[in-house]
Amino acid sequence: MKKIFVAVLFLSSVIKASDKPYYFYNPDQEYGSELRFNPLTLWVNGSFDILRNGGHSKDIFNQPYKVGCENVVQNITHPFANIKEYGVKDFLHPTYQLFNEIFENGSFEGTNVDPISDMLIDWSLQPYYNPNNRFLENAGQQFASKLKLGKKSRYSLFFYWGVLSTGGFSYNLDDERTISFSAGAIVNKINENRFRNACYMTPDLDYVISFFYDRSNSLLLSTYLTGPKFYNLRVDIYPGLVEVGDFKPGFFLGAGEMDGLQFGLMCSFLPVGILGQFVDPGTELN
């Protein structure tokens, strides 16, 4: 009888554990950005994010890795001396989401993953490799947040940030599918500046409008248009939006002054897709 009781208790705990909701990442979702999320894609997007800013060569086989590594280590191991050399500056970070989570948490004390999931929906990009010029395109980390406007409302405030930072609103089409619209700014180029013996970067900003389609917070489609400094259109289609039998490909389209004309194909099980460039950047598109 004791063994039966222990077995029932064990099975009930397993069933109960399997009923727990996923927050930041759901491994059971076989579509969209959740399907693409893994340690390798996270590393690629995080490591090569800077290449999409236009201030560095995108040729991943021709980078000063050794010099960069040595200088970064020197700076982070001697932070006060280097900050003093450059000059101390204060930075003000947005706190609207933090205060929202404080109010939502109330008087509860203990583990609460809800604020983490609300503030960090990983909607990182899909990297593509161009074998003709050895460029890594469309690599970068992006995050999204949604703040529901009432328990029964279909609308939410929407924020999307990274190199591309926008704000807008989301609308729930049903219990799973959501569309989001936003506008804001994008860093189209990073400029290197020198002051005394210090080096610092300043962004060259442009305007951007964007549209997103997701299913259960797993991104299936993103598109954005930038201008007027650099008119450029980018469309990212994630695996699962288009299915050919069991094959779930991803696609990328870039067109404009920055991308020329590019088209990419992604296999869901590979960290990087293949990209072809049909028109060079700067070439007038008819």
Q: What tens digit of pLDDT does each residue of 66-99 get?
A: 877 787 677 677 666 655 555 544 333 444 444 4
Contact predicate 139/45, CB 8 Å? yes
CA 1 → CA 6, 7, 11, 15, distances in Å? 9, 10, 15, 21
Contact predicate 262/285, CB 8 Å? no
Residue 252 is encoded by which pair of tokens?
Answer: 């990328």
Q: What is the rounded end-to-end Cα distance, in angstroms, of the chain?
A: 80
DSSP 8-state assignment for residue 107: T
The closest alpha carbon to 259, from 281, 231, 275, belongs to 281
DSSP 8-state assignment for residue 59: B
The closest alpha carbon to 207, from 180, 231, 236, belongs to 231
Q: Per this entry, what is the length of the chain?
A: 286
The position carrying tokens 């069991």 is: 246
- SS3 for 147? strand
The closest alpha carbon to 251, from 276, 225, 226, belongs to 276
Confidence of residue 102 (pLDDT cuts 50, 70, 90): very low
Is the CA virtual torsion 64, 70, 73, 79 positive or negative?
negative
The angle subtended at Cα 42 by Cα 159 and Cα 131, nearest 5°, is: 110
Alpha-carbon gap, residue 20 to 79, rounded angstroms: 43
Residues 189-208: what's their mean pLDDT? Answer: 76
Residue 63, judged by CB atoms within 10 A of its CB (0-12, 13-18, 19+), counts as middle
Confidence of residue 197 (pLDDT cuts 50, 70, 90): low
- Asked whether residue 106 carries a pLDDT value surpassing 60, the answer given is no
List residues bridging with 124 in a β-sheet.
none
- Taking only the tens place, the pLDDT of each residue in 213-223 is 999 999 999 99
- Taking only the tens place, the pLDDT of each residue in 145-177 is 999 898 889 999 999 998 899 999 999 999 999
Region for residue 227 given its phi and psi (left: phi exceeds 0; alpha: psi -120 to 50; beta: otherwise)? left
The model's pTM is 0.75
The more confidently predicted of residues 185 and 64 is 185
Alpha-carbon gap, residue 24 to 1, rounded angstroms: 41
